[in-house]
Chain A
Amino acid sequence: MEEQKTNIDKVVGKSESNQDFNFKKFAWKQFKQNKPAYYSYKVLIFLIILAVLSPIIATDQPLYCKYKGVSMFPAFSFSNSCEIKNEDRTIEKIQYDIAEWKHLDATTIIFAPVAYNPNKTDYNNADYVAPGGKQIFIDKEGNEKPMPTKFRHWLGTGKGGEDVLSGLINGTRISLSIGIISMIIASFLGILLGAMAGYFGDKKLQTTRGSFWTMVVGVVIAYYYGFSVRSYNITDAFADSGVAVLLQLFISLIIFSLVVFLFYLLGKQVGKISFLSTRVFIPVDSMVSRLIEILISMPLLILIISISAIAKEKSMINLMVIIGLTTWTGIARLTRAEFLRISNLEYIQAAKSMGLKEYRIIFKHALPNALAPALVAIAFGVASAILIESALSFLGVGVPPSTVTWGSLLNAGHEQFSAWWLVVFPGLAIFLTVTIYNLMGEGLRDALDPRLKK
């Protein structure tokens, strides 16, 4: 702890007199003073709440319904149907997802604020009805009526009468989860590889010749037992379900790491043989830097659409993984640069001389001080992941066609320019989300850069 504190003081450029100085508190204060960034942060919290609650904000299933004395909570319920016994002992079955809730003779019924599903059609208001246009509602008897306020399409409808507002609200969930989950994958990869490259460089990770080559063979064999042998299990899981894929990949990863670990132990013994006990360096930095160079020398969008073209299933999870696997380079580069600087500082040397384990130095002592630039890159990365996702769904590439996203709404608007609401609102949503992430990234950069301290 002591070393960390001295380091923080060094980073901030403060003298020892200020003992109670807390960098996190200081950065948060700086961030708060940056008004655009701070308001973006508040808007983001609002958007996250909206995204989490979207299944009950914009759905055609009512939140609560009392029908023939039976209370139902369709929007919250996991089961999809409810059986109601009539007086004449016949059983009436209500299926939540296809029931005509708006025509039901219910005693009390509470609808969601936006009483439509994003991809369900409302044929009475099909063919692009404007937000302020005349919307009609056909009641149970078949009479045409003006639309009641609680069922209005506030932002108009699409070609088949799909509600735009409902699509926007559900699109929030998709965009935010793609941005955040793909960045979790990217930052895991980027921080891990960047930290290794920066900390070890080319000349610090030493091992014996024997254990090095044992590990090389071990990784190949681990790949063989983990993935080659099990390739059909994994392929079949893809045809089955997302959970099965995760399970199979998990089993494969466990086998892989077990075999690698066995070879690690074996390598230690092999390294004791006289010829094989020569010390060699592992050029971690060169390997990681080459990998980054290869990835950044391909235009990101073209790379992503090429990879998603061969994915057998079009799913959001695939898209998150693909974006995560291709966008970690920026984070890795910044983390690497920071680790290069930190690994030469005295407190790391002190930790080394105390005989601490390398992984402990990396993850406990160096990493907390190296996170700041990565954090900024992650904020910008979420913005670009959201942009990539909406561009892909705008082009109709790599996203399941039934999913309604901001990009797919915009694409629908591109087909019919008179329906300006299909162009303006989804575009604004993308623009707003990307802007708040960019503003927050800028705010973080300023707040975490001690040179700019006021």
Chain B
Amino acid sequence: MLQYILKRIFIFIPTLIAITLLGFIISVNAPGDPVERMVRPSIDDNAKTINVVEEKRAWREKLGLDLPVFYFSLTSVSRPDTLYRIIDKNEKEALDRLISIYGNWDAIQKYHLSLNKFYFSQLSFVADTNQLRKYDKNEVLETLNQLKFEASAIQGTYDKAVIEVKMNKITSLLKSYPFLEKFKSEFEIVRRDFLLIEKTSTPWKNYIPRVAFYSYKNQYHRWLFGDGGKFSRGLLLHGDFGTSYVTRQPISDVIYSKIGWSLFFTMLSVILAYFVSIPVGVRAAAKRGSRFDKSSSIVLFMLYSMPSFWLATLLIMTFANTDVFSWLPASGVKPPLGYPDGASFFEMVKISFPYIILPAICYTYSSFAFLSRTMRVSMLDVINQDYIRTARAKGLSEKKVIWKHGLRNALLPIITVFANVFPAAIGGSVIIESIFTIPGMGSEAIYAIQTNNYPMIIAILTITGFLTLVGYLISDILYAIVDPRISYN
């Protein structure tokens, strides 16, 4: 038996790795630049701009974005291995697109370096006061800002026509303001380098594939195993999912505080569904064609097709509405002010109980309907078998025949569908938790999507995938325990 369980766990490992890969692929393709969101917006000022660049660099290192994405990548001969080191996402894309047009990294790199030099020398520009005397102070600031704007616009552009227009603008600016004299030569170099790109272009290089290998120092490896405790402890080993883009807190802290309620409702709903559905299903099957069978079939079928968000809204509208019945609270899991000081566990349960009723109904009803229908069908199968007829012929009471002899064998299919019920309950939590504002993982997932908090989304996807796998494992083991015909080898 132990051997069997170990074997099952062993089979789950590749699936788990695939889940992490899928989550990772989604997170890498997420739109927007996370660093831009982490850096606090500041007043546009030269001194601060340099600080912002440093801060961006620090965040990039902390989030691991200065590393290559994966152990290897499929790329072209024209692309360098080091493009991932560029900090700004727009700049990186612009360079990559330039490569995909012209295909000569050497010239593009030269152009990029000279453009950067030009840009940073402007930032540290202190104008000679003698020269500036004839200009208005505002005019000088304005001009410098414009120059800076155009230069940074060129950094994020790959369209030749746009770059040329911007370059002409800069040239005319440099011409009309003599105090900008010292930039002229630097800008001439940028211009020359840009022209050189087109002259020496080798677009055919883009069509030769190449596999680039990177070391274990990549984003995926770091995400799974951490980087030795410097910034991240790693996903699989220590449950570190990275930093939330919204609160800048570790994601694992948020998840630990939220997973409790989700698991509580999921387990509660699964247990409740099993406890109610087995008697209902057995009774309907035992009295096939009776009024109970027919009416329960219709009700169960309707429940099965009922969208949970509709039922939840209807329930709140009826039982938590001051206009109709104000019996139960509409949202949350505890009073807005929290529990009274020094409340014992029992008192806390008592206070929270009314809050739990409506969500628990919504969590339970669909799996209840599904389970009852499965139970009825499997019981019908069993009832027609020979050994049940034998039991009846022996003169056993109908009650004993059904509940003792029939039920045991009819339970098998219902145990296998545990593997369907459990993920459905976890998935359903997204809707129900956000309707009832339960502080669980489901409502956190929706909040994360509204705020584009991708690391959180991926963490939740991975955790729910892991929980589902655990659900499958449990159902496999239960099945092996209940059915002695299954061999463990």
- A residues sitting closer than 8 Å to B (CB atoms) are 220-221, 223-225, 228-229, 232, 290, 293-294, 296-303, 305-307, 309-310, 312, 383, 387, 390-391, 394-397, 407, 410, 413-414, 417-418, 420, 423-424, 427, 430-431, 434-435, 438-439
The 10 closest A-B pairs by CB, nearest first: A299-B427, A427-B310, A301-B427, A435-B305, A294-B18, A434-B305, A298-B465, A224-B209, A417-B317, A309-B449
In the assembled complex, 17 residue pairs joining A and B whose CB atoms fall closer than 8 Å, in A order, are: A232-B100, A297-B15, A297-B423, A297-B465, A299-B426, A300-B423, A305-B446, A390-B309, A391-B309, A397-B446, A407-B309, A410-B310, A414-B435, A417-B323, A423-B314, A431-B310, A435-B302
Q: A299-B464, A417-B317 are in contact. Are A306 and B458 (CB under 8 A)?
A: yes
Q: Which residues of chain A have C-beta atoms less than 8 A from B74's C-beta?
A: 220, 223-224, 228
Contact between chains at A297 and B468 (CB < 8 Å):
yes
Q: Which residues of chain A have C-beta atoms less than 8 A from B31's C-beta?
A: 310, 312
Q: Which residues of chain B have C-beta atoms less than 8 A from A298's C-beta?
A: 19, 22, 423, 461, 464-465, 468
Q: Which residues of chain B have C-beta atoms less than 8 A from A306's C-beta?
A: 23, 26, 457-458, 460-461
* Residue among A294, A296, A307, A410 making CB contact with B313, cutoff 8 Å: A410
A174 to chain B, nearest CB (A): 15
A303 to B305 alpha-carbon distance, docked (Å): 22
Q: Does B454 contact A (CB under 8 A)?
A: yes
A36 to B139 alpha-carbon distance, docked (Å): 80
Contact between chains at A391 and B301 (CB < 8 Å):
no
B444 to chain A, nearest CB (A): 11
Interface of B is mostly: helix
Q: Which residue of B lies closest to A307 (CB)?
A: B26
Q: Which residues of chain A have C-beta atoms less than 8 A from B461's C-beta?
A: 298, 302-303, 306
B285 to chain A, nearest CB (A): 17
Q: Does B480 contact A (CB under 8 A)?
A: no
CB under 8 Å from chain A, chain B span 26-85:
26, 29-31, 74-76
Q: Which residues of chain A have C-beta atoms less than 8 A from B97's C-beta?
A: 232
Contact between chains at A438 and B304 (CB < 8 Å):
yes
Most B CB contacts (10 A, CB to CB) among A229, A293, A301, A407 go to A301
A225 to B207 alpha-carbon distance, docked (Å): 7
A395 to B307 alpha-carbon distance, docked (Å): 13
A232 to B464 alpha-carbon distance, docked (Å): 34
A298 to B323 alpha-carbon distance, docked (Å): 41
Contact between chains at B206 and A229 (CB < 8 Å):
yes
A229 to B426 alpha-carbon distance, docked (Å): 40
Contact between chains at A299 and B423 (CB < 8 Å):
yes
Q: Does B202 contact A (CB under 8 A)?
A: no
A293 to B12 alpha-carbon distance, docked (Å): 10
**Interface residue tally of chain B, by bracket?**
35 or more
B30 to chain A, nearest CB (A): 5
A273 to chain B, nearest CB (A): 24
Contact between chains at B307 and A391 (CB < 8 Å):
yes
CB under 8 Å from chain A, chain B span 179-217:
206-207, 209
Most B CB contacts (10 A, CB to CB) among A309, A394, A395, A438 go to A309
B434 to chain A, nearest CB (A): 6
A223 to B97 alpha-carbon distance, docked (Å): 19
* Residue among A290, A387, A435, A439 making CB contact with B14, cutoff 8 Å: A290
CB under 8 Å from chain A, chain B span 274-315:
301-302, 304-310, 313-314
* Residue among B30, B424, B435 making CB contact with A309, cutoff 8 Å: B30
* Residue among B309, B317, B450, B452 making CB contact with A420, cutoff 8 Å: B317
Q: Which residues of chain A have C-beta atoms less than 8 A from B460's C-beta?
A: 302, 306
Q: Which residues of chain B have C-beta atoms less than 8 A from A302's C-beta?
A: 426-427, 430, 445, 460-461, 464
Q: Which residue of B lies closest to A423 (CB)?
A: B313
Known pairs A302-B461, A310-B31, A434-B307 / 15 extra A-B pairs, C-beta < 8 Å: A225-B207, A290-B15, A298-B468, A302-B427, A305-B445, A383-B305, A395-B431, A395-B434, A395-B446, A397-B449, A397-B450, A417-B321, A423-B310, A427-B310, A434-B305
Contact between chains at A418 and B323 (CB < 8 Å):
yes
A120 to B294 alpha-carbon distance, docked (Å): 46
A407 to B430 alpha-carbon distance, docked (Å): 15
A223 to B311 alpha-carbon distance, docked (Å): 46
Contact between chains at A423 and B317 (CB < 8 Å):
yes
B32 to chain A, nearest CB (A): 10
B342 to chain A, nearest CB (A): 36
Q: A224-B74, A310-B31, A435-B302 are in contact. Are A394 and B454 (CB under 8 A)?
A: no
Contact between chains at B424 and A299 (CB < 8 Å):
yes
Contact between chains at B431 and A414 (CB < 8 Å):
no
A163 to chain B, nearest CB (A): 21
Q: Which residue of B lies closest to A293 (CB)?
A: B15
Q: A232-B97, A297-B469 are in contact. Are A430 and B307 (CB under 8 A)?
A: yes
Q: Does B245 contact A (CB under 8 A)?
A: no
Q: Which residues of chain B have C-beta atoms less than 8 A from A418's C-beta?
A: 323
